[in-house]
Structure 1
Amino acid sequence: MPVRDIDSDDSSNDSSSEKKSLNNRTIPWARYFARLFDLILVGFICYVPVLIIWGSRNTNITLFQFLIVIPFIYIFFEPFCYVLWGATPGKFLYSIKVLNEDGSKLSLRKAVKRSLQVLIRGNAFGIPFLIVLANFIAFRYYEDNKQTPWDKQLRIKYAIGNISNQRILITNIIILLLSSFLRFIGQYSKDYIS
């Protein structure tokens, strides 16, 4: 994956220096939507088998349960992806890799620490209203320091490849379709539970 250093002002097209370069910053919206994709994917992977095994009439999954279960599962899903591939499915779609400063993949311990830090410091345990405040604080820190506090503490860098507009469009369509399908299944379940 060609790596682009977006902190550099040099606009030369030297591909060898691009491949060696790891940047410590990516476009914030790409990271945000990559995480959103991953959370929706984990929700989809968890929710659909429950409906297949127990059926919609016997399953009463509430939003509260979903807000507790999905982040818990995600804490294990995300590090697993980082250790094996250096990216989660969402980050892969946005051409983002999460790596050590030397370009190697994260260890399991470091990946779990990072996931916990994101859950606590970046997403305030997913608690409504607090998550907005935590996201704002993390974004401000990112704007000032060009990296998030947990990545700075753990010495993690991001490598970002070239991403085309078609890839962004396709990824956002997948997010829309998965979330719409989850919404449809949730509504279907709610209609037939009573």
Structure 2
Amino acid sequence: MSGVVLSGATVAGQDFDAAKAEVRRAVEDFLAEVFIQQPDTEVVRAARYAVLGGGHRWRALVAVAAGRIFHHDALQLVLPAASGVELAHAASLVLDDLPSMDDASVRRGKPCTHRVFPAWAADMVPVFLVTLAYEISLDNPRVDAPARIKAALELSAAGLMMIRGQVHDMRQDRMAWQGKSSGWCSATG
């Protein structure tokens, strides 16, 4: 299996903590560059605030680990799609924190996006992030078009699962976490 030990001790022959740090750094750098290329608007600033500088990037790590089963340079091949999943996940967190949902105060150790930016900008951030997730996932010349389309379809299915989980959450369904979290995890495989 190309160096992947299912016990979790190593990922492609690399210490797990080192692999996690490498992926987290690569995703953070990639997303920072993506945001630099965006126009400087209130929505982009709010999105950048919501995405950068926080989170474990577990979804990206799972995507890269799965990719390393098939290719030694998986990090570079799947980085756009893995980062897209992280953007979509961040969108779900911003949405979940809004006053109309959970009305949270703090996310990832800092005030929630809607508490720092105007309501109209915070309301637009999830749509912006999901759209950006599709853009960076589909615009990857290192991966052939059919694979990019399949990744986009997986991202779509995960998003729909997340929405179903959020609906259950709003109905105070005790199993809401299954749909919300498992949706984004399914997009990494």
Same fold (TM over 0.5): no
- Highest Rg: 1 or 2? 1
Q: Which has the higher contact order (CA 8 A, sep 6+)?
A: 1
Q: TM-score, normalised by structure 2?
A: 0.28
Q: TM-score, normalised by structure 1?
A: 0.28
